[in-house]
Amino acid sequence: MYAQMVDTGANKVRGLEEMSAQERAFQERIDAGIKIEPKDWMPEAYRKTLIRQISQHAHSEIVGMLPEGNWISRAPSLKRKAILLAKVQDEAGHGLYLYSAAETLGVSRDQLVDELHAGRAKYSSIFNYPTLTWADIGTIGWLVDGAAIMNQIPLCRCSFGPYSRAMIRVCKEESFHQRQGYDLLISLCRDGTAEQKAMAQDALNRWWWPALMMFGPSDAESVHSAQSQAWRIKIFSNDELRQRFVDQTVPQAEYLGLTIPDPDLKWNAERGHYDFGAIDWDEFYNVLKGNGPCNRERLRARRQAWEDGAWVRDAAIAHAEKRAARTAQAA
């Protein structure tokens, strides 16, 4: 496994012979499928890579609540409102497991949140697009949660114990999220009116390419993939997961009677996969630089929520301090 990984991706990975004895023993544990736990020795770069990826993932969950939260008050029925509320609440829970997993690596949640609010930490590009209609809610569940599951199921087997265990629960919930999105689209496309189906097609037209971008840059451009795969922080490459997602999603679009907005999409019998058109990487990097349609709005909303919640944090700390003082007095 390790030997196959050394030459893939844009970055290079050191061979076992170039490592210190401690690093070699660490790599051999990973190659043997043994989980790394927070108190184990680990190379500083492994720790930093995990903090980067897990915190970006946590931020994505929290920022990801915003586009969907936007529709809670406008859901078309009590049932749909209850489902959407539960889903958005789940995303908050995912953020919390992930911040906790990152904290086991010696960083505090306050530090991570500061990085996000200062605009220095990334979160998934997908959440910088607006949710214009109710069909966007179904499409996010279908495509965005579908892409998230494709990326995250392998992470249940990643090398870092707390991250892999958090992912097991997250994936169970994400699969419910994907199903609810697809169910919503079935209502619009198969049982709905022509206008409702057109609304679903419009949502697919806007979300398809950003969903493909969620998997990150192509393998040739991915900065971290080779090292992360060697460390089993990533199990599959960005392009491998993107291809799996396309292969899984095309028949689902056909069942809904929707057209994927890609004239180059076609089944390639020789490869046993769908070929698809070129991704607009300029758009992707532009969103990463902070220039997507909603980047500023998302950060503004997160900072505001943090400020509005200050009194809750202060009250919780005051309560904890009072209890600790009382316990000390009684002892």
Q: Kindly list the residues in this chain that would bind ligand BYC in the complex (CB under 6 A).
A: 52-53, 56-57, 60-61, 64, 91, 122, 124-125, 144-145, 148, 151, 213-217, 222-225, 228, 234, 238, 288
Q: Which CB, 192 or 209, lies closer to ligand BYC?
A: 209
The kind and range of the H/E element at 213 are helix 194-213
SS3 state at 196: helix
Nearest distance from residue 228's CB to ligand BYC, in Å? 5
The least CB distance from residue 70 to ligand BYC, in Å, is: 13
Instruction: Provide the minimum distance between the beta carbon of 180 and ligand BYC in the complex, in angstroms, as a whole number.
Output: 12
Which residue(s) pair with 160 in the sheet? 36
Tell me whether residue 206 or residue 234 sits nearer to ligand BYC (CB atom): 234
Residue whose CB is less far from ligand BYC, 83 or 214: 214
- For the record, the structure tokens of 184 come out as 């919503």
Rg of the chain (C-alpha set)? 22
Q: How far is the CB of 94 from ligand BYC (least distance, A)?
A: 7
Q: How far is CA 32 from its chain centroid?
A: 27
Q: Which is nearer to ligand BYC, 138 or 217 (CB)?
A: 217
Instruction: Please enumerate in sequence order all residues whose Cβ is within 8 A of that of 11, keeping only pairs 6 or more positions apart, or say none.
Output: 223, 224, 225, 226, 227
Pick the closer one to ligand BYC by CB: 60 or 131. Answer: 60
Give whichever of 271 and 289 is closer to ligand BYC, judged by the CB atom. Answer: 289
As given in the structure block, the two tokens for residue 211 are 């969903």
Return d(Cα 19, Cα 192) in angstroms, integer.
61
Shortest distance (Å) from residue 222 CB to ligand BYC = 3
Strands 266-268 and 273-275, by their bridges, are: antiparallel
Cβ neighbors of 309 (< 8 A, separation 6 or more) are none
| Nearest distance, CB of residue 143 and ligand BYC, angstroms | 10
Contact 125, 213 (CB under 8 A): yes
In the complex, residue closest to ligand BYC by CB: 64
Q: What are phi and psi of 266, to 5 degrees?
A: -155, 150
